[in-house]
Structure 1
């Protein structure tokens, strides 16, 4: 036996989408119902475990045999569930090294992240049965007790044998669909080094990160008291039954002479400065009430395992246009930043459950709880966190690709890229908190908004007007930035030209160390790392301005599979972000033995022995891969007793 294709169906009273698979399998009522499999591409068989059948010994043994490759779609789910089934001790799981995931393969090819979605796009003969969701709901999750079902809270096979037989057929069909995906994609194998990255990702997910659950429980309790207090104040001021209701609040504002289309964060913030003090107070209270910090704490509570660690927070290739990670469960990728100087003291008050002192010392309890979210993550006893991240990684990578030498000089000298950019744009020296310091903000907003072809609209979206810039000066800002970065602008259009040439001629082209090829109905962009970005069914189209544009199929802003439009600067954004991801991955491999417990964007969090050297970690992380010769990297880091932004 070389390959074992697997698909399982399971039951647990724990909500999988909220808790994640690691917590899901800890439920006392967790069990595997069906085990569908195929050996080396042979006939698909299903083992009815729920009705007493047993897995054949050779298949059972293969699960722990590292010489047999286990294939499944979303392999993490099967691997963790089967670890529980095999009796692995809590917190230990089947070694991921002999597991491969056809969902990762699909993502590598720019395809959807669902089995059903991939089946539709590839036009598979045996697509995932559409009735599957209804069968899963019936057999795999608790049901509501009713008179008609005899008050039971779970549906067993004997409660509907006809449905059960359909469920077994569904299980077989899933295995067949997974095998067909691999057959269709075999011309485009995932490189071994990417599988190694996936296995490292699984190691980090298996390890998890410790959560201070006593602190989390106190945060949830304090938030409940705070929300009750805010709601009462608003009810007194407005006489509304539910001042948190958008309809009621809009009506109240209208009755008081204020009309607004939205109660979004920005709109309310603008109104606060315009309306009379009594109305301003109500809107300020609403802003506080709208803080959703408690959701993160609740997500921790939902997903924490019995040993206090949250696992499974990172999805490998979750952003399949670039291969970057996506956040799951607690969503570390979008945590609020902390700017409080007395973070430790505020955390201590919360941990003691001292609501009165918090209310006295901090004007905004929801904001305080929001800033404390990161601090819920802690190292185990006698350990510390080392947090290290790349400095301005995307700015460095795009300068390296484009050959924008003045930027490289800034990085080589350890300069401030925002000051340097402003200086380049306006032709005067700019120093932070010094000469022409007011121009730094313009340099910063330009850097953040304009690197990938953005114009006036991008500046506005980045908050240029809120930062005090006038509408009139925005076009000049765009022109100044582009004039200061001619090589980056040239990089955009060289990539644009290379992509169009590859698609039109079904040929291969290259520019700036990046290779482009169009074959088998796919556009491939090969990065310096050797990793490939894939775009499905590319073709030439026409943009809204009547010009020539490139389109391809992918998951768009609507979360649906659709035809998307792109052009040079957008492809450059993909290339730069994907390369930045490859550099992070290289650093994670370098630090593989250092107990990485989490990573956020360009940052790595290590649960370290206090004797581990911070400088050594930063030095290792800043090592430049051979394929990125000439790229200047810098890593900054700090140690902490709970996770925070330094």
Structure 2
């Protein structure tokens, strides 16, 4: 037999743990977890399916290959296969399992990701969907994923409801439907064939090795997980239930509504009390509260508290937490299609509520000890407190602390650097406040944070956050300009003032717009501001300073709604479906700046990979380290400018804490 160089794998598994709610790490911890079918291809050859559920065995050379670093293992969403095989080998073939990491790390239960590659990540790198079915359809493969899959998975891979007709069993085995099982084996085989077809189809567009290195760092962070204070989580869930009961009772007394959670009943009650509204969403209720009489105000405030959905995060934590009280698999590498940024999974650390309470630790201690009465007595709203405490449920392991470090104004710095907006780069070089400096440039007066003209800083801030990528009045509104007390009629003058004071950024938008159009029309390569726009094989590639490429599938020049030229390409749109998307210069600039910011974070992860990185949110890293580690040293290492973007004014700041929070 030839030496195994590559192994393409697909598994079908059973567990009584809900994969969607709990994630793959918790899924494989169930004592009832097992692998049913193991399909593989050696060196791109014919696919073999091992029917483990019916007692077949995996050949010894394949078992050895699973932890052999010289064999590249491929799968679509390879994390699933790697974590399943880690649990399965440890239980059934411990002699073939070898872990990685040091003894004080928390990755020891999993196979080393360094010899694994993922065709889902390859697809994402080329701007394709993150599902096997979606990729197969877009690429028009001969082998398509079998449509029967979902029904077969529902039948064999998850528990079933006990009924009279199925003899009260809670699980379907192969013997319960031989025909379905035979189809399931074909389905398993087909998934490996589709996965190999994707590799063949994408072979012209290989993923650079440094991206695979980034993927391996990502897998290590996911394997390591982040510790959860389970006492805080369980008490918060209890307190939330108790609080909701009390709020519901109060609401019933004030309104005589049977079900205070019913949107229909609530709208009817408001209507009976003189308030007609189509929605009682968060924004609408806040609007109504502005001028509501006392009785109405009391009811609407209760409504706000009852509908606090951020508490669901505690339930997500409880669902995902592993036996060692760590939540794993929270980050999706290349989850954001256009920029290649990470996205969040399961608990979704990317959208945790902020905390602004001055006495955060005191409130946390009251929740941890289950002291509901004190919490209710000291604070206006229990749901509000629980919401602000969500971040604090993440803790370092005993004897360690968190260092949380992030890049200061990273997108503004990258945008200023690329556009060569020199006054802005000077502000960053001198560690100035960009919001004050921006307001000074816009209004021609000195603006200091707590000094002269400080009232203008807010206008500088909202302009900075809303206008860097071609946004106008609408962008300012969506950033909350009107809620901050700005008048609608002054918004356009803010847009004009910001653009006038940033001529090089505005020029950068249109230089990029022009370069994209030339590349597509002339099927050529063109450069502007150190960024390369390459048309090749019916794709538009944007080559970033890091060497990474952004991909736009089947770009075309069309006409937009205003009668001007526009660029369209195929991708996953806002509807989560594959469709034609329209874009233009400032939008491409946004993709570029966010993508470069992501590459800088990735570079920092590499620099800091000797530490235990256990989480990251946008431009921030959460590091679990011994008490004597220096915060300044970590921030200095994180703030090092990558060699591929020399002279960028980069800065990282951080803080130490015994629980995660927004500093």
Q: With structure 1 as the length reference, what TM-score do the two structures score?
A: 0.99
Contact 2:337-2:572 at 8 Å conserved across structures:
no
Aligned match of 1:374 in 360, 384, 391? 391
Aligned match of 2:22 in 19, 22, 37? 19
Cα deviation code 1:116-170 (max 9, x no counterpart): 0000000011111111011101000011111111111101000000000000000
Cα deviation code 1:264-295 (max 9, x no counterpart): 11110010122211011100111111111321
Aligned match of 1:247 in 264, 276, 279? 264
1:91 deviation in Å? 5.0
Q: 1:96-175 residue pairs with structure 2 within 5 A?
A: 96-175=113-192
Q: 1:563-602 residue pairs with structure 2 within 5 A?
A: 563-602=580-619
Q: 1:298-447 residue pairs with structure 2 within 5 A?
A: 298-447=315-464
Q: 1:542-557 residue pairs with structure 2 within 5 A?
A: 542-557=559-574
Corresponding position of 2:65: 62
Q: 1:178-189 residue pairs with structure 2 within 5 A?
A: 178-189=195-206
1:207 deviation in Å? 0.5
Aligned match of 1:73 in 64, 72, 76? 76
Corresponding position of 1:28: 31
- Separation of aligned partners in 1, 2:352 and 2:292: 31
Unaligned runs of 5+ in 1: none
- Separation of aligned partners in 1, 2:255 and 2:464: 44
Corresponding position of 1:9: 12
- Separation of aligned partners in 2, 1:547 and 1:260: 39
Contact 2:87-2:109 at 8 Å conserved across structures:
no
Q: Secondary structure of the residue that 2:143 maps to in structure 1?
A: coil
Corresponding position of 2:277: 260
Corresponding position of 1:529: 546
- Separation of aligned partners in 1, 2:232 and 2:453: 45
- Separation of aligned partners in 2, 1:550 and 1:146: 56
Aligned match of 2:300 in 272, 278, 283? 283
- Separation of aligned partners in 2, 1:520 and 1:288: 54
- Separation of aligned partners in 2, 1:413 and 1:508: 37
Cα deviation code 1:410-453 (max 9, x no counterpart): 11111110010000001011111211111111111101110000
Cα deviation code 1:470-498 (max 9, x no counterpart): 11111111100000000000000000000
Aligned match of 2:530 in 513, 525, 529? 513
User: 2:193 aligned with 1:176, yes or no?
Assistant: yes
- Separation of aligned partners in 2, 1:283 and 1:620: 49
Corresponding position of 2:621: 604
Cα deviation code 1:370-395 (max 9, x no counterpart): 11011101111111011110000000
Corresponding position of 2:493: 476
Corresponding position of 1:464: 481
User: 2:631 aligned with 1:637, yes or no?
Assistant: no
Q: Secondary structure of the residue that 1:66 maps to in structure 2?
A: coil
How many residue pairs align between the two structures? Answer: 646
Aligned-CA RMSD value = 0.8
Aligned match of 1:272 in 289, 304, 308? 289
Corresponding position of 2:512: 495
- Separation of aligned partners in 1, 2:392 and 2:348: 15
- Separation of aligned partners in 2, 1:552 and 1:317: 19
- Separation of aligned partners in 1, 2:606 and 2:662: 23
Q: Secondary structure of the residue that 1:592 maps to in structure 2?
A: coil
- Separation of aligned partners in 2, 1:341 and 1:76: 40
- Separation of aligned partners in 2, 1:140 and 1:69: 27
Cα deviation code 1:82-135 (max 9, x no counterpart): 001101589510000000000000000000000000000000111111110111
- Separation of aligned partners in 1, 2:282 and 2:437: 33
1:575 deviation in Å? 0.2
- Separation of aligned partners in 2, 1:491 and 1:295: 43
Q: Which moved more, 1:256-265 or 1:196-205?
A: 256-265
- The runs of 4+ residues in structure 1 deviating greater than 2 Å are 88-91
Q: Secondary structure of the residue that 2:11 maps to in structure 1?
A: strand
Aligned match of 1:294 in 298, 311, 328? 311
1:233 deviation in Å? 0.6
Contact 2:553-2:569 at 8 Å conserved across structures:
yes
Unaligned runs of 5+ in 2: 91-96, 100-106
Q: Secondary structure of the residue that 2:518 maps to in structure 1?
A: helix
Corresponding position of 1:48: 51
User: 2:629 aligned with 1:626, yes or no?
Assistant: no
Q: With structure 2 as the length reference, what TM-score do the two structures score?
A: 0.97
1:261 deviation in Å? 1.5
Aligned match of 1:538 in 548, 552, 555? 555
User: 2:220 aligned with 1:207, yes or no?
Assistant: no
- Separation of aligned partners in 2, 1:381 and 1:275: 50
Corresponding position of 2:88: 85
Aligned match of 1:236 in 250, 253, 261? 253
Cα deviation code 1:329-350 (max 9, x no counterpart): 1100000111111011000000
